[in-house]
Amino acid sequence: MEAEGEGEGEAAAAGEGESEGGSSALEPALAHARSLLVIDGLLRAAEAQRGSGEDAAELIEEAAELAEHGLEGALAGELYERIEELEAAADDQGFAELHERLAAARAEATAADRLEAISLGLRAAGEHYAEAVTDGAVSDRTEYLEAFGIYEAVKAEADALAASDEAAVAEVGAEVRAQIEEAGAAFGGSAGEDITTPEASLLHAAAARVELSALSCADPMVHVIGGVLDSHEVAALREAIEALEFEDGRRTAGRYAKGVKSNEQAADTPAREAIFAKVRKALSANEVFTSVARPRKFARMLVSRYGPGMAYGTHVDDPIMKGSRTDMSFTLFLSETDSYEGGGLVMEDAIEERVIRLEPGDLVLYPTSALHRVEPVEQGTRVAVVGWVTSWVRSAERREVLHDLDVAARASSTARASRRPSIDCSRPRATSTGCGLPTEGISAAVRCGAAAPCFAFGDGYGSCRSQTIASSAAPSIQIPITAAAAMALRGRARDRAASRNSCMSGAGISRCASMIPSGTISRSSN
């Protein structure tokens, strides 16, 4: 029954510069999803103003411009042409067909990206609304129409998620739809008459609640750490690995895992052990890795190699290896992403499967109990070092709390050093955030919306907010934090009270969960 990690495991049972539409701070897939939503919103606003002439024409023109410059590929040209045609005709059928086409394009994105695009759309609507409404009345009609149209598009997208065939997605979609509906009090129809609550904060609060709903669907304990090895270290390891002898990877797989495993592993030689020593040294010196994993020992490491046609089916890593408990598993990527096709590491969560392909030198760290697989390599060769860690802290929840405290301490230290009440997150840096998620320069595009040095709590879109989090054991700490993260802190702090009280004295700090991916992380087609 024993088996190990991405390299080995127990097989699972069968069946088991900114524009309106995006920003350079957003990953391409998310910026694309947001642009589609805003385009749809502009068209909905124009549709509501048909017959008013100037307002409708201006909105349609803005939608066409965003399609041309905010999207890429054939879709950009197609939508631009169809919107231009709509400007001439502006009939019911033309609007209906465009709404349908935009909805179909949005449906191609991952559920996580669609949820975050809804949140971003609500924030965009809130920004327009703040410019449009003064003293409870509409002072800028165009800004109001844009806010109203985007809000309507966001509702339609939530309805589409709620109608999903996937039960988990449908459940979250229905929850998000209810949260969005609460913000409707800010509007009085397309004309802005009889506004019940003229507050842009309703839209921003709804965005925060949507973020939190999305976070609750993702695995909070998967960490991607960028730059564990630099380019010279990666090149040296690859050169050393090329000289190793390889054998059938099934030699070390468990009885059931042998049936789903097809790869090669480096044979046990002094040269292989020298490679492992270098990896152990790099990981032991990495602050994020040690903060998350709290490594007592490295239970085992392997060098895995996948050639064309090789794969590793769905499995769970063995909890005991060579007599040692395995708490966390990791994959350290060594191959250039453009040197092979396929071969993604697929992680599963409550919503969907996601494929992780990282740049050489980057690492993904995840619970040993996580269900995962390696997709077939279609072309080229995929090489990685995989390993398992025995932590000083057996409880995953307690490890996360300790990591949260590290994040808070670093953020507080940075704030004191800069002598500012909040930390400027306008320039993301190539490092791992406190969520263990990369901010820049990592192809995976796994994100929690944070930008170092804001760690887990920056919003990642150019600003941070500070909120005091009280601790009964220490003075209050100023930590940059989003509204969604603030809500998560309160709820998760309560949920973790038992484990928190047994490992520390009353610090009410939790972490934000990961928003998974866009870019090279995508829904599995399997």
Binding site members: 315, 317, 372, 382
User: Under 8 Å CB-to-CB from 6, ≥6 apart: which residues?
Assistant: 304, 312, 317, 329, 331, 345, 372, 374, 384, 386
Binding-site positions for Fe cation: 315, 317, 372
Rounding to the nearest 10 degrees, give the CA dihedral for residues 59, 65, 68, 69.
-120
267 CB neighbour count, 10 Å cutoff: 13
| Run of H or E residues at 374 | strand 371-374
Binding-site positions for 2-oxoglutarate: 382
- Counted residue by residue, the chain has a size of 526
Nearest to 2 by CA among 246, 277, 251: 251
Could you give phi then psi for residue 10, rounded to 5 degrees? -90, 125
- How would you label 473-496 residue by residue, b for 16+ Cβ within 10 Å and e otherwise? eeeebbbbbbbbbbbbbeebbeeb
Number of H helices, E strands in the chain: 14, 21
Nearest to 440 by CA among 455, 424, 422, 452: 452
| Run of H or E residues at 203 | helix 201-217
Question: CA angle 63-68-73, nearest 5°?
Answer: 130
Residue 335: strand, helix, or coil: coil
Residue 496: strand, helix, or coil: coil
Q: Is the peptide bond before 270 cis (omega within 30 degrees of 0)?
A: no
Residue 190 tokens read as 């397309």
59 CB neighbour count, 10 Å cutoff: 24
User: Under 8 Å CB-to-CB from 162, ≥6 apart: which residues?
Assistant: 170, 173, 174, 176, 177
Taking phi over 0 as left and psi of -120 to 50 as alpha, with beta for the rest, 344 belongs to beta
The Cα–Cα gap between 56 and 182 comes to: 27
User: Under 8 Å CB-to-CB from 203, ≥6 apart: which residues?
Assistant: 122, 123, 125, 126, 129, 147, 151, 183, 186
Q: How far is CA 227 from the centre of its chain?
A: 18
Cite the DSSP H helix spans in 19-110: 28-48, 54-70, 73-89, 92-106
Residue 35: strand, helix, or coil: helix
3-state secondary structure 12-33: CCCCCCCECCECCCCCHHHHHH
